[in-house]
Copies of this chain bind each other. A is one copy, B any other.
Amino acid sequence: MKKIDGGVCAATGFKASGVYAVIKNNPSGKFDLALLMSDLPADTAAVFTTNQVKAAPVLVSIENLQKTGGKSSAVILNSKNANACVSDGYTNAKLECDFVSEHTGVNPDEVLVCSTGVIGQSLAIDKIKAAIPELVKKLSADGNSDAATAIMTTDTVKKEYAVEFEIDGKVCKIGGMAKGSGMIAPNMATTINVITTDVKIAPDLLRTALSDVTEKTYNCLYIDGDMSTNDTVIIMANGLAKNPLIHKINDNFEKFKNALFHVMKNLTIMLAKDGEGASKLLTANVKNAPSFEVGRAVAKTVIGSDLLKCAMFGEDANWGRILCAIGYAPADIEIAPIEVSLVSKRGEILVCKNGEGLEFSEENASEILSEDEIEININLNQGSEAATAWGCDLTYDYVKINGDYRS
The interface of chain A, by Cβ under 8 A from chain B, is 50-54, 82, 84-87, 118-121, 182-183, 185, 187, 224-229, 304-307, 310-311, 313-314, 316, 318-321, 323-329, 332-333, 335, 352, 354-357, 394-396, 398-407
Contact = CB atoms under 8 A, between A and B. Distances in A.
Contacts of A323: 53, 85, 119-120, 229
A71 to B, nearest CB: 29
A326 B185 CA distance: 14
Contact of A328 (B52, B398, B406): B52
Contact of A321 (B119, B325, B407): B119
Contacts of A225: 225, 304-306
Closest A-B pairs by Cβ, 3 of them: A119-B320, A314-B403, A53-B327
Contacts of A183: 307, 324
Given A119-B323, A323-B119, A406-B316, A224 B306 contact: yes
A360 B212 CA distance: 44
A310 to B, nearest CB: 3
A311 B182 CA distance: 13
B357 A310 contact: no
A226 B324 contact: yes
16 contacts: A50-B328, A51-B324, A52-B327, A52-B335, A85-B352, A85-B357, A87-B354, A87-B356, A120-B352, A120-B356, A225-B304, A229-B327, A307-B405, A310-B402, A396-B399, A396-B400
Contacts of A400: 396
A32 B394 CA distance: 29
A351 to B, nearest CB: 8
A399 B225 CA distance: 16
A399 B119 contact: no
A120 B357 contact: yes
A318 B396 CA distance: 20
B398 A320 contact: no
Given A52-B335, A307-B182, A335-B53, A324 B355 contact: no
A328 to B, nearest CB: 4
Given A85-B355, A402-B310, A53 B119 contact: no
Nearest to A315: B403
Contacts of A395: 399
A403 B85 contact: no
Contacts of A356: 85-87, 120
A324 B394 contact: no
B314 A404 contact: yes
Contacts of A316: 403-407
A407 to B, nearest CB: 7
Nearest to A225: B306
Contact of A306 (B229, B306, B326): B306
A402 B51 contact: no
